[in-house]
Structure 1
């Protein structure tokens, strides 16, 4: 992803953006009745993709360096991306905004804004106070959870760069991860476990599990793979957007070969089975049912075979007990003329 340049023109533009953000936060602080709307508007503004005019300013280079067109790096660039870099490069520029967010801490969208603007600052700028670190890291996890769910609900990946940073530049880099308290580290791992498949990062799963922190309930729950699958299973049961659920079910095949406790394996199997039947509580569509069967067949081929074997074993008994009746009724005759044909066109087989 392109990064903001440090030219005077770019810095002036980002400084002006920072002042606008600060003004809107001050308005929200001083207007309780409009607070939620103002914070929601601010969140939407910083989540916007950078337009071409602004991109020319933000990514401008000095004459003796390569231009954005020659940079060779493609991808969506949002305002929060460049502002997050700016607050790392010029930490004092974001201090006023951070102080205002802290005063609005309990308000809707405050954690969203904090996570987008200060996720890099938290890990790349020195923060000595452990109590503040705990507060900020908790807000980061909460805010990241909220914005990732927005992507889930809209089936978009606008916050892909936030996820990628937390996974590749924090979780897989112990020196940065260890900056935040242990409980926050665990919460961050649980969060990423739920969204790692959605954000196309299955190829990082092996390294992700190797870095998994120790959990106090590991004796009862199991190892990293068990914790990961439990979180993933819970996530599947919360998904209501069909394309997203189908994508998860297609990606879940990466679990093949994982060593899991029996309880974890059963939990996953039960979850997948819940998507194979029409009706409640999941009310899956036909496409979801087929995808769930495919996932079951891939991950638990023996289990599927056992179900079929049990059915075939019971089938003769059901037939013998007159419990299965096949009836085909075809009504092709005008009213009043079907009686004589009924015997010919209706077959009732009791085996």
Structure 2
């Protein structure tokens, strides 16, 4: 008896949200001058985390299960998590919104909104219009790309649920991924390759590579592993946020054991090596340089000592870094000596205690 009122209350609340989104889209359509601002605000509203009071309205506290939205990023639920499920269960509720989105295709943030609201609808609801599927698949990839970059720039994972769905429920499920065009599937896999490590899903790397679609240039660039590494290295060189760079580099240890072509292996090695030296073009911090060295030595243990010697000579090209390098070297040596002395003292103290007992 308690579940029915809860379901009705949830449906009423989501109906109201859907109507509000429709009104805002109509407002954006009728106001060309303020259209970008309206659409940006609508995207922010859809991506907003739901407050506890609103959750109490939507869900019954006594329910054992909420739904897949509970897996939202950082233990929070966003409006798009609920609305995406809502439009799958009630496709007719999203038809008017979808029609308005189609009329605003070329505007900023429209693909973002479409990707958030209709990423599940696209793959779980039957769509007979083949031409529309082509448009929707392209818009999904474009919108998801922009959305994931927002997470990169803020170093948050608010859109983890979207990424997880596209990876686990689409890319790894051929029956769903085949709904969109082959080119859209390729673009989607390239997109997932660029952000897989950021969203900490590298444990799915092996099965993800097995589900890669065919690429027309595979005979030139290599197999799925080569394509994945190429996308990953390109992504890494675009990153500017230090914690994100460190996260990517630390996660790249998952690449150990992959069979790569010589050109791809060299590309990966060069990418990591570019983060080991101060100065341009990457201007890595000390933490990034050390992380890059550790990952480089892990993935390519052969030749690590010659690499360090070569790097030392290149450091001579940056004399303004010499004082800080010398200071860091001295401090490292001091810490090593102090740790060694403490270790010896502790060992001596334990030996004295043992001798007294005997």
Please report how far the alpha carbon of residue 60 of structure 1 lies from its aligned counterpart in structure 2 after TM superposition: 2.8
Is the counterpart of residue 224 in structure 1 residue 215 in structure 2? Answer: no
Contact 1:10/1:60 (<8 A) preserved? no
Is the counterpart of residue 304 in structure 1 residue 299 in structure 2? Answer: no
Name the CA distance, whole Å, in 2 between partners of 1:72 and 1:166: 17
**Structure 1 unaligned residues grouped into runs of 5+:** 315-351
The number of residue pairs the alignment matches comes to 305
Contact 2:47/2:80 (<8 A) preserved? yes
- Equivalent in the alignment of 1:199: 199
- Equivalent in the alignment of 2:38: 38
Contact 1:171/1:189 (<8 A) preserved? yes
Contact 2:70/2:76 (<8 A) preserved? no
- Equivalent in the alignment of 1:179: 179
Name the CA distance, whole Å, in 2 between partners of 1:248 and 1:213: 24
- Equivalent in the alignment of 2:344: none
Please report how far the alpha carbon of residue 67 of structure 1 lies from its aligned counterpart in structure 2 after TM superposition: 7.0
What do the CA deviations read for 1:139-170 (whole angstroms, capped 9, x no partner)? Answer: 00000000100000000000000000000111
Query: Larger Rg: 1 or 2?
Result: 1
Cα RMSD (Å) = 2.1
Structure 1 stretches of at least 4 aligned residues deviating more than 2 Å after TM superposition: 65-68, 71-75, 305-312
Name the CA distance, whole Å, in 2 between partners of 1:140 and 1:73: 21
TM-score calculated relative to the size of structure 1: 0.83
- Equivalent in the alignment of 1:164: 164
- Equivalent in the alignment of 2:12: 12
SS class of match (1:259): coil
Contact 2:29/2:104 (<8 A) preserved? yes
Please report how far the alpha carbon of residue 52 of structure 1 lies from its aligned counterpart in structure 2 after TM superposition: 1.1
- Equivalent in the alignment of 1:349: none
- Equivalent in the alignment of 1:265: 265
- Equivalent in the alignment of 1:79: 79
TM-score calculated relative to the size of structure 2: 0.82
Name the CA distance, whole Å, in 2 between partners of 1:153 and 1:48: 17
SS class of match (2:192): helix
Please report how far the alpha carbon of residue 264 of structure 1 lies from its aligned counterpart in structure 2 after TM superposition: 0.3
Please report how far the alpha carbon of residue 73 of structure 1 lies from its aligned counterpart in structure 2 after TM superposition: 7.2
Is the counterpart of residue 130 in structure 1 residue 145 in structure 2? Answer: no
Distance 1:310 1:110, change over 3 A: closer
Please report how far the alpha carbon of residue 250 of structure 1 lies from its aligned counterpart in structure 2 after TM superposition: 0.4
Is the counterpart of residue 246 in structure 1 residue 246 in structure 2? Answer: yes
Distance 1:233 1:97, change over 3 A: same
Contact 1:209/1:225 (<8 A) preserved? yes
